[in-house]
Amino acid sequence: MDAKELFKIANEAAAKSYSPYSRFRVGAALVAEDGTIFTGTNVENRSFGLTICAERSALVAAVSAGHRRFTELVIATPDAEYPVSPCGACRQVLSEFMDPDAPVHFGSRPEDLVATTIGVLLPHDALHDLKGTS
């Protein structure tokens, strides 16, 4: 499945967002190693620190279903004027389960998708640095 098809799935997840405070919907489509696609959406809380991002929402669903390795992530931010990348917390959590060369795409529309990798989003990741020394 290509990034634009995954974007459509992520965008459908964004439509389910609970974002009454920011009104900024986010959806994610996370591909497990076996090809299973997990979706997630942002779930806000009036105490913003308790808000759950779409990326981590998809990851938690996937791990809860028994998956531990993921090969690709696509993020849809339909309310943004420009592509919005994952936050630092999501980058850190995703790096736990994705190789540095795993593709990540994000955007507000299919035609403006930015293509990058986990390694570019989180350079000098200590977890992967430590794995290389064992």
| Pairwise CA distance, residues 101 & 27, whole Å | 22
Which three-class secondary structure state does DSSP give residue 28? strand
Which three-class secondary structure state does DSSP give residue 89? helix
Which CATH number does the domain housing residue 68 bear?
Answer: 3.40.140.10
What is the token pair recorded at 54?
Answer: 């779409």
For every one of its 134 residues, what pLDDT tens digit does the chain have, with 9 covering 90 and above? Answer: 899 999 999 999 999 999 999 999 999 999 999 999 999 999 999 998 899 999 999 999 999 999 999 999 999 999 999 999 999 999 999 999 999 999 999 999 999 999 999 999 998 877 665 665 44
Q: Which residue has the tokens 């930015």?
A: 114
Enter the DSSP assignment of 11.
H
37-41 and 103-107 strand pairing: unpaired
The boundaries of the domain holding residue 105 are 3-131
| Pairwise CA distance, residues 75 & 118, whole Å | 13
How many residues are there in the chain?
A: 134
DSSP lists the bridge partners of residue 116 as 104
Instruction: Look at the chain and report how many structural domains it folds into.
Output: 1
Does 55 qualify as catalytic in the annotation? Answer: yes
Active-site hit among 12, 33, 44, 55: 55
